[in-house]
Structure 1
Amino acid sequence: MSKEFQNLKLFVEEVENVTNTLSKEFENLKEEFSSTKLLTENGLGSPELAELTLSNTKLKYQLDILKQAIAEERTSMGKGTMENIEGTLISLFTKAIHIAYPDVPDPLVPVTEATQEKFGDYQCNAAMPLVGILKTHGIKINPRQIAEKIIQNVPQSQIIEKLEIAGPGFINIWLKKDYVQNAVINLIKYGVKPPPLFRKLKVVVDFSAPNIAKEMHVGHLRSTIIGDSIARLLEYLGHDVLRINHIGDWGTQFGMLIAHLQDKYPDYLTKSPPIADLQSFYKASKLRFDEDPDFKSRAYDSVVKLQKFDPKYTKAWQLICDVSRKEFQKVYDRLNVTLIERGESFYQSRMEKLVKELDEKGLLEEDEGRKVMFGDGTKIPLTIIKSDGGFTYDTSDMATITQRIHEENANWIIYVTDLGQALHFQTIMSCAQRAGIYDPKRVRVDHVGFGVVLGEDKKKFKTRSGETVRLVELLNEGLNSSLETLKQKGRDKVLSPKELIEAQEAVAYGCIKYADLSHDRVHDYIFSFKKMLDDKGNTAVYLLYAYTRICSIARNANVNPEQLRQSIDQVHISLDHEKEWKLAKVLLKFPHELLKITGDLCPHHLCEYLYEIATTFSEFYDTCYCIEKDSATGEIKKIHFGRLMLCEATALVMKQCFNILGLKTVGRM
C-alpha cells in the first residue's frame, strides 16, 4: 500500500511535469499564432492557421483540466487525507535515484526513523545497496559518492529541511518545522484522516464462523476480534468491505438434531419449541446418534429430506438455526461486531453447479469411490464428492471462493482462521487457480492465520473440568474482573452509576480485545485477566486511562475541543521543545502505520503505535507544562494553547486507533 501512495505522489508530479511541458508548448504556439496572424493580416493566409488555432484551443483546454486536477489533488491531500511522510520520502529518493542512475530500474529505497536526534528525523540507506548493483553495470563507486549524487537530484519538497551524509553513505533527513506544524493544525482542523486511496477495492473478510447448535467458545474469539479489526481498518481506508460470517449451518449433524427435535417437541410446526440450551440439546442428540441404531437411521433419513428441502424438515432446521443466531448475536452485540451471515446452506446450489463444471473440465479424479481434485504442485487433494455422493467442506470452500470472485466481484479475499488451516487454504487457492476461478494477478487472497489461546499453565485454554471455555462465560468473567479493578481504584466513589457501567464494559471488553490484538497473531498467547487489567505497560487499561487523562487536560482549563478547533488559526504551535517535536512526529506516523498493516494484516503494529503515542505523550506532559497554576491557590496563571493543541491532536489520533481496534473509549474512568 505504501507503493500505492508512492504511485499517487508520482502521478501528481507527472501531471505537474506534463503541465509545465504544455505551458511551454502553449507559449510557442502563441508565438507561431501571432506570426501567422500577422501574415494573414497582410493577405498571406495559410491552411496552417486553422490547425494552429485548433491546437491552441486543445492545449488551453488540457492545461486548464490538468491545473484543476492538481489543485483538487492538493486540496484532497490537505483536508481529506493525511500524508504518509515515510512514503513521500521514499518517492522523492526513488525519483532522485532514477535521475542519478537511470539504468537502475527498481532501486531499493529503505527509509527509516532516525535512531538519534543528531541524525535528523529520518534516514535513507539507499546508497549502500546501489554499490553492488552499479558494479554489475561496470561502475565502481563508493556509497558516499552515490549518496552525494542522490542528494543532488532530490526534488524540491515542502517536507525536507536539509539532507546530510553520515558515515559510509547514510543520508540523514531533517523535516521542515512549518510542514509538521501545518500537518498538526490540519489534523485538528479536519480530523484524523486516512492516507490517500489510490484504488478502492471490494474486500471480503471472512471471520468468526461458529457452528449452529454449538456455543461460541474461546477459539472463536481470536477470529472474531482479529477479523473485525482488519475489516474496520480497510473500511476506514475507504475500501468497500463485506464482512462475512461463514457459519456451519448445513451437514449431517442436522439430521440428528432434527430427529431429536421431532421426538422431543412433536408439535414444533405449530408451537415454538423452548430450546434454551442448544449445547445440551446437541449433546443429547449426539448421544442418541452414537448409541441408538434406529435413531441413527432416522437421522440419516432426515438429512436426505432436508437436502431435498422437504418443508417439515426445512422448518425444523430454521428453528434450530434461529436459536443459535440469537445466541451468537448477543455475543456480537457485546463485542460491537457486525457481520453478514453467509452459511454453508447459501452455497448448496452453487456447489452442484461447480462440481458439474469441474467434472466437465476433467479436473476430478476417482479415488476409492471419492472424487478428488489436486492443485498444481499440491500433494494432498481436495475431496469434492464423498463416496456416498455428498459434498464436503472442500466443496463448500471452492463454491465460496467462486461466488466471491464472480458474483461479489471481490478484488481481495481475507480468511481469518487458526494457523492449522493454512495448508487447506493453500490447496483451495491452488485448485481454484487450476480451475480458472482465481487469478492471483487480479485478486489478492490472504489467509490470516493465528495461534491458539493458552491458559496460565501454558496449555490449551480449558475450564477446570477440561472443557472448552465458553465465550459468554469469559465475557462475564471479564465484566466481574473489570468492576473489581475499578472499585479497588476507588472509581465507584467518583463515577456516576451510568459512568461506572460504561467504564466497566469499556475496560472488560477492551482488555480482552487488546490482549489478543497486541500479540503478533501468528503466535500463541496466554490468557490472563490479571495481566490484561494491569494499568502499567502495553495494556488496554493503561491506554484507556491515558486517553481519558489527555481529554481531561483541556477540560480542567475550562477549554473544550470545539473552542480549540475554532482558535486553531490564532494559536501558534511552536514545536521548539524536543518533546513537542517528538510527539508531533509520532502523531504524523499514523498513515504509515495503517498502510503497514495492509501488507501483513497484523493488527499488533497498531497496538505498538498506540503505546508509542501514550509513552511519548507522557514524556511531553512531564516536561512541557500545558497549564501553569499558582502553587498556593491552585488558580490557573497561564494556559499554553499551543501545547493544548498537541494534547487535542494526541487524543484525536488515539481515539481513531481505538476505533480501528474495536475498543470503546469513555469520557471518565
Structure 2
Amino acid sequence: MSTVVVAATSLVEDELSAAMARVLPPEQAGRDPLLRPSEQADFQSGAAFALAKLAGVAPRELAERLAGEIGAGLTAAASGPGFVNVTVADEWLWQQVATRLAAPRLGVGEPLAGQRVVVDYSGPNIAKELHVGHLRSTVIGDALARILGHLGAEVLRQNHLGDWGTQFGMLIQYLDEHPGEEWRDIALLDVLYKAAQQAFAADPAFAERSRRRVVALQAGDEGTLAVWRELVAISEQAFQRVYDRMGLLLTGADADPESAFNDQLDAVVAEFEAAGLAVESEGALCVFAEGVAAPLIVRKRNGGYGYPATDLATIRHRLQTLKADRILYVVDARQALHFTLVFDAAHRIGWLADPGAATHVPFGLVLGPGGTPFKTRSGDSVRLADLLDAAEEAVRAVLTEKPHELDDGQYAEVVGAAAVGAVKYADLANARTKNYVFDLDRMVSLSGDTAVYLQYAHARLRTLLAKAGPDQGDPDPSQPSHPAERALVLRLDAFDAVLREAAGTLEPHRLCGYLYGLAKAFTDFYGSCPVLKAPTPGLRANRLALCRLTAETLAAGLGLLGIAAPERM
C-alpha cells in the first residue's frame, strides 16, 4: 500500500465537519459541508444556508459560528449573507509540495486494492484491418485499464477477437477456390474478405459451399483449421503492430477469442433450458428479459449459435474462472440493448450475483469534418495505420516551426509520440458518450486543449529544471506564497481526487480536463513568478519544487491516458 497524502480539500472538509458537529444540534451533525473552490479564498462553504433554519439562526450568524470553530492552521471568515471562506496557511502549502514530491506515486492512494476488474476492449475481427471504428473502444478501454490499475485494482485486459463463425467458412472457401490469390498479409485479406462477401451474397452455390466449409471448420477438419489458424496468426500480428505503435497495454496474452468458447455453448444453453429460462420462440431458443420485447436468441432456428451464446459463455468464464469482481465492456452505444439482455440473463441464471458488477461502458461515434461518420472518399472505414500516418504528417508540419536540438532519431521519436498523443487525447478529452469530429489541425495545435500542448508544457518544465542544475534545495515552508503559486499548489493537490472521479464515473475526459487546467495554472505561475531568478534562495527552492511536482504530475497523468511525455520537444 502506498502513502496517501491528505489533500487540502479533505483537510478543510474534515475541519468544517468537526466545526458543524460542535455548533449544530447532534441530530444535524454529519451534513455535507458543501465545499467548493473560491476566488475570494481557497475554498468556500455554503453549508450555513442549508442548515441555518434547522439551527434556528440566520445564515450569516451560523457562518460566523462555524468560522470561529475552524482551526488546524486554517484561516476562516464569514462572508456575504452566509458563506464561510477558508484559506490554507502558506506553510501548509509548501509542506504539501515537499510531501507529495517525497511520497511514492505522488501520494495517490490505492482505494481499489483487492478488486479484480476485467476490462473488455478493442475486439477487432480476424482478417480485417484495424480501422477508425476500433479507435474509441481501444483508446478508452486502455485508459480505464491504466487508471483502475493505478488505483490498486488487479486489471485483466480482455481483447474479445471475432475469429469464429460463418464469415470464416466463407473466406476460407473463397481462398480455396482462388488459389492464385496472394493473401498472407492483412491488407490483402481485408480486400479478399470483401470479395468473399460479395460472392456469398451474389452466388447461392458459393454460399452453400461456404456453409459446408463452416461445418468442416466446426467439425475440426484439419485442412480448414490450418488455414483458419494462419488467418488468425496473420491478423494478430498486424493488430499488435498497431497496438505497439499506439503505445497500448494490449498484448497477445490478452487475446480472448470467440473460438475459445465454442465448445462451451451447448452446455451454456442447456443450463438455461434446465433452469426454465430459455424458451422456444418461432423456432429459436430465446431468453426474455422482463419489460423488454426483444429476446436474447441463444440458439438459432438452424441449431447454430451467435454472439449472444458466446457472450454468455464469456461472462460465465470471467465470473467463475477469472473470479472477476467487476467486468467492464467498452463497446459502442449501439450495443446497449444486447448487453442489457446478456447481463439480465447472467443475473437470473445466478452467475452475476450483483447486476452492477457487469457494466456496459458505451461511447459515441468518430465523425468526419461534415459531421457524418468518418470514412474514406470511397466510403470505406479509415484504417488506423493511415490515421496515425496522417497525424505524424500534421505534427511534422507544426513542429518545423519550432527550433530544436534533437537528432534525427530523437526527432522521429518525438513526432511519433506527439502524433499518437494527439489522436488519443482528442478522443479521450471528449465526454465518452458524445460523438466528436476528427479534426487533425485542431488535434496537433500547440495551443489549446491538446496533447501536444500538454507535452510541450512538460518538456518546457524539464528544460527549466535542467537549467537549474542538480542542487535545487529543499522547499522552505516559511516563505510567503504568491496567488499564482497557491493556485498551482491546490491544482496539484487535486490529482488523487480527479483519478478517483475518473475511475468512479469511467470517464477519462475528467483527467484530461484536469491536466489541461494544470498546464494553464503552470503557465500563469511561470508568467507571474520568476523561478531561476527568484528574489530569494528560499523562493527559488520553493518554485523549483513546484516545477518538479508539476512535471511529475503531468507525466503521470499523461501516462495514465497512455500518452508519452517526452523530456524534450
Which among 500, 503, 510 is matched to residue 605 of structure 1? 510
Do the aligned partners of 2:68 and 2:76 also contact (CA within 8 Å) in 1?
A: no
Q: Please give the secondary structure, in 2, of the residue aligned with 1:315.
A: helix
Which among 449, 468, 480 is matched to residue 538 of structure 1? 449
Task: Give the gaps of 5 or more residues in structure 2.
Answer: none
Which among 457, 463, 474 is matched to residue 568 of structure 1? 474
The whole-number CA distance in structure 1 between the counterparts of 2:191 and 2:478 is 63
Which among 152, 170, 184 is matched to residue 256 of structure 1? 170
> Which residue of structure 1 lines up, in the alignment, with residue 27 of structure 2?
103
Deviations 1:552-589 (A, max 9, x none): 112123x14xx44xx427x5573521111111111111
1:662 correspondence with 2:567: no
> Which residue of structure 1 lines up, in the alignment, with residue 242 of structure 2?
331
**2:333 corresponds to which letter in structure 1?**
L
Relative distance call for 1:151 and 1:525 in structure 2 (3 A) is same
Which among 449, 461, 464 is matched to residue 362 of structure 2? 449
The whole-number CA distance in structure 1 between the counterparts of 2:94 and 2:464 is 21
Deviations 1:428-453 (A, max 9, x none): 22222222221337x53322211111
**1:283 corresponds to which letter in structure 2?**
K
The whole-number CA distance in structure 2 between the counterparts of 1:550 and 1:123 is 31
The whole-number CA distance in structure 1 between the counterparts of 2:447 and 2:181 is 58
Q: Please give the secondary structure, in 2, of the residue aligned with 1:349.
A: helix
What is the CA distance between 1:150 and its match in structure 2?
Answer: 5.6
The whole-number CA distance in structure 1 between the counterparts of 2:285 and 2:20 is 55
Within a 5 Å distance, the mapping from 1:397-476 to structure 2 comes to: 397-440=311-354, 444-476=357-389
The whole-number CA distance in structure 2 between the counterparts of 1:428 and 1:145 is 56
Do the aligned partners of 1:109 and 1:126 also contact (CA within 8 Å) in 2?
A: yes
Q: Please give the secondary structure, in 2, of the residue aligned with 1:86.
A: helix
Do the aligned partners of 2:160 and 2:256 also contact (CA within 8 Å) in 1?
A: yes
The whole-number CA distance in structure 1 between the counterparts of 2:127 and 2:141 is 22
What is the CA distance between 1:131 and its match in structure 2?
Answer: 5.9
Relative distance call for 1:310 and 1:378 in structure 2 (3 A) is same
Deviations 1:337-360 (A, max 9, x none): 122010111222333222111111
The whole-number CA distance in structure 2 between the counterparts of 1:660 and 1:627 is 30
Larger Rg: 1
Do the aligned partners of 1:397 and 1:428 also contact (CA within 8 Å) in 2?
A: yes
The whole-number CA distance in structure 1 between the counterparts of 2:519 and 2:459 is 11
The whole-number CA distance in structure 2 between the counterparts of 1:533 and 1:449 is 26
What is the CA distance between 1:649 and its match in structure 2?
Answer: 1.0
What is the CA distance between 1:426 and its match in structure 2?
Answer: 2.1
1:316 correspondence with 2:230: no
Within a 5 Å distance, the mapping from 1:374-385 to structure 2 comes to: 374-385=288-299
1:86 correspondence with 2:9: yes
1:239 correspondence with 2:163: no
**1:288 corresponds to which letter in structure 2?**
A
The whole-number CA distance in structure 1 between the counterparts of 2:7 and 2:317 is 35
**1:420 corresponds to which letter in structure 2?**
R
The whole-number CA distance in structure 1 between the counterparts of 2:184 and 2:525 is 62
Deviations 1:609-653 (A, max 9, x none): 1111111111111111112399xxxxx999922211111111011
Q: Please give the secondary structure, in 2, of the residue aligned with 1:219.
A: helix
The whole-number CA distance in structure 2 between the counterparts of 1:288 and 1:333 is 35
Task: Give the gaps of 5 or more residues in structure 1.
Answer: 1-75, 631-635
Do the aligned partners of 1:478 and 1:512 also contact (CA within 8 Å) in 2?
A: yes
1:189 correspondence with 2:102: yes
The whole-number CA distance in structure 1 between the counterparts of 2:10 and 2:357 is 22
The whole-number CA distance in structure 2 between the counterparts of 1:287 and 1:87 is 62
The whole-number CA distance in structure 1 between the counterparts of 2:97 and 2:21 is 32
Deviations 1:481-520 (A, max 9, x none): 21222223344xx321122111111111111111111111
Deviations 1:349-397 (A, max 9, x none): 3332221111111001221001111223333221111111111212222
1:556 correspondence with 2:456: no
Q: Please give the secondary structure, in 2, of the residue aligned with 1:400.
A: helix
> Which residue of structure 2 lines up, in the alignment, with residue 512 of structure 1?
423
Q: How many residues align?
A: 564
Relative distance call for 1:298 and 1:585 in structure 2 (3 A) is same
> Which residue of structure 2 lines up, in the alignment, with residue 587 of structure 1?
492
TM-score, with length taken from structure 1: 0.78
Relative distance call for 1:410 and 1:289 in structure 2 (3 A) is same
Relative distance call for 1:90 and 1:368 in structure 2 (3 A) is farther
Which is bigger in relative contact order (C-alpha 8 A, separation at least 6)?
2
What is the CA distance between 1:96 and its match in structure 2?
Answer: 5.4
The whole-number CA distance in structure 2 between the counterparts of 1:392 and 1:419 is 20
Which among 99, 110, 113 is matched to residue 37 of structure 2? 113
The whole-number CA distance in structure 2 between the counterparts of 1:360 and 1:250 is 27
Deviations 1:573-607 (A, max 9, x none): 73521111111111111111111112211111111
What is the CA distance between 1:196 and its match in structure 2?
Answer: 4.4
Do the aligned partners of 1:511 and 1:541 also contact (CA within 8 Å) in 2?
A: yes
* Identity %, equivalent residues: 35
The whole-number CA distance in structure 2 between the counterparts of 1:432 and 1:307 is 26
1:292 correspondence with 2:192: no
> Which residue of structure 2 lines up, in the alignment, with residue 653 of structure 1?
553
**2:390 corresponds to which letter in structure 1?**
E
Relative distance call for 1:83 and 1:354 in structure 2 (3 A) is farther
The whole-number CA distance in structure 2 between the counterparts of 1:445 and 1:106 is 32
Do the aligned partners of 1:628 and 1:637 also contact (CA within 8 Å) in 2?
A: no
Relative distance call for 1:251 and 1:84 in structure 2 (3 A) is farther
The whole-number CA distance in structure 2 between the counterparts of 1:225 and 1:164 is 46
1:497 correspondence with 2:497: no
The whole-number CA distance in structure 1 between the counterparts of 2:465 and 2:51 is 50
Q: Please give the secondary structure, in 2, of the residue aligned with 1:627.
A: coil
**1:336 corresponds to which letter in structure 2?**
G
The whole-number CA distance in structure 2 between the counterparts of 1:185 and 1:324 is 49
Do the aligned partners of 1:376 and 1:434 also contact (CA within 8 Å) in 2?
A: no
What is the CA distance between 1:413 and its match in structure 2?
Answer: 1.3
Relative distance call for 1:277 and 1:130 in structure 2 (3 A) is farther
> Which residue of structure 2 lines up, in the alignment, with residue 350 of structure 1?
264
RMSD between superposed Cα atoms in Å: 2.8
The whole-number CA distance in structure 2 between the counterparts of 1:507 and 1:410 is 35
The whole-number CA distance in structure 1 between the counterparts of 2:526 and 2:184 is 61
Do the aligned partners of 1:461 and 1:468 also contact (CA within 8 Å) in 2?
A: yes
Q: Please give the secondary structure, in 2, of the residue aligned with 1:523.
A: coil
Do the aligned partners of 2:175 and 2:181 also contact (CA within 8 Å) in 1?
A: no
> Which residue of structure 1 lines up, in the alignment, with residue 46 of structure 2?
125
Relative distance call for 1:130 and 1:412 in structure 2 (3 A) is farther
Do the aligned partners of 2:132 and 2:381 also contact (CA within 8 Å) in 1?
A: yes
The whole-number CA distance in structure 1 between the counterparts of 2:11 and 2:263 is 49
What is the CA distance between 1:93 and its match in structure 2?
Answer: 4.3
